[in-house]
Structure 1
Amino acid sequence: MSEVVRPLYHCPSFQQVSGPALRPGGSELTARGLDLCGFSPGDRVADLGCGPGATLGLLYDRGLRALGLDISEDFLLRARTGHPEAPLLRARIEALPLAGGVLDGLCCECVLSTQDDPDPALAEMARTLHPGGRLLLSDLYVRRTGAGAGITGCAAGARPLDELENRLQRHGLRPLHVQDHSRALSELAGRLIFQHGSLDALRGLTGDEGCGCRDLRGLGYCLIIAEKETS
């Protein structure tokens, strides 16, 4: 029987290096995205794939009404411990248990690339945002032509940046700001290499499927702020 491979972000050795945000850029990049979104105190903002709750803390610090959703019971337990005031739901991002148009904002950070097909999740984001609502999306993307063929595991859904923008547009989510933050990915990879000696050593903890890509030079990291179209 083959061994079940854990996604990289579930591995303690990765979490020690990445910190509670579990992604390139950490909470600093999230804060930058929230500034661009321009949310007002009292706005209802959901964090899709909230993990242990790093972004929930930022939302509450800004006076926002935060809602956390994740498929992992372990992550929800950790988020509940750190943020007992936050409503938390176990849910998949392609099937959100929310009514249409109820959200002022959404955060989806390093989660969409875990989906083999991003369209169902994007459709749910568009459905639950009210017109004019903002989406903060940060994620991996494919930088080099043909690089996507070598990506597996939790990064298997990474797409070229122009394709990601086009998919957002098709679902009525108009990109307002598109920023490249691939340096944050390189810095995280560098810290992982320093901690473990090499990325090959890290693969020994998760397997190739867990690490997602044999050559990180094929991946970049982006921040996109998109707005739900009003008509």
Structure 2
Amino acid sequence: MKYKRILLKLSGEALMGEQQYGIDSNRLMQYAQEIKEVSALGVQVAVVIGGGNIFRGVQAEQVGLDRVQGDYMGMLATVINSMALQSALEKLGVFTRLLSGLSIQQVCEPYIRRRAVRHLEKGRVVIFGAGTGNPYFTTDSAASLRAIEVEADVVLKGTRVDGIYSADPEKDPNAIFYSNISFKEVFEKGLNVMDMTAFTLCKENDLPIIVFDMNKGGNLKRLVQGEQIGTLVSMDEVL
């Protein structure tokens, strides 16, 4: 395998499938099956999943709620999604552990770095819920932070598009696709890969990011086997 330990970042919105909100069971099981196949190859898998299909912290201010309160509500939404993914994986016979940035002992273990690493070493799929456990930080930031802490080889950001483009490919048919791009070029071109905090964390720690289409069956497995899928963001300048 090209990567020994990966951090898979999934968006909460992706779990909606064709629905307007909530969790689509077919999409959930598809993701669980993809993760199972990669784990069976011996790759150590950690997962961070968003909560946008249930609630986003930035929505709080729009409806008159306190932003900090809204962010904590969003963290709880990620725990719900994490529990759903954990249940789907265990239904497929995959051993998992759910670690939370918030203390919810009835359903999650508290996040402890050494414990997380030990779970990964034992071949368990580790799901990180509740983001960083702090308001004003996105799940992208949580993904970058946890990946650095557990010494993952790469952050795999699963999206509904097949990589990074110069513009939104759904709106601009002339958008240019990048197969490889440097952190510096992403800054210079103003491309939206992750929020700035998450992106800077990866850059400063030389942690590559791959943006790929998670909804296409087999992409995750092909990635860890070394195929060039999606867009690689790294320190290397592309000539």
Same fold flag (TM > 0.5) = no
Q: TM-score, normalised by structure 2?
A: 0.36
Q: TM-score, normalised by structure 1?
A: 0.37
| Greater per-residue helix proportion | 1
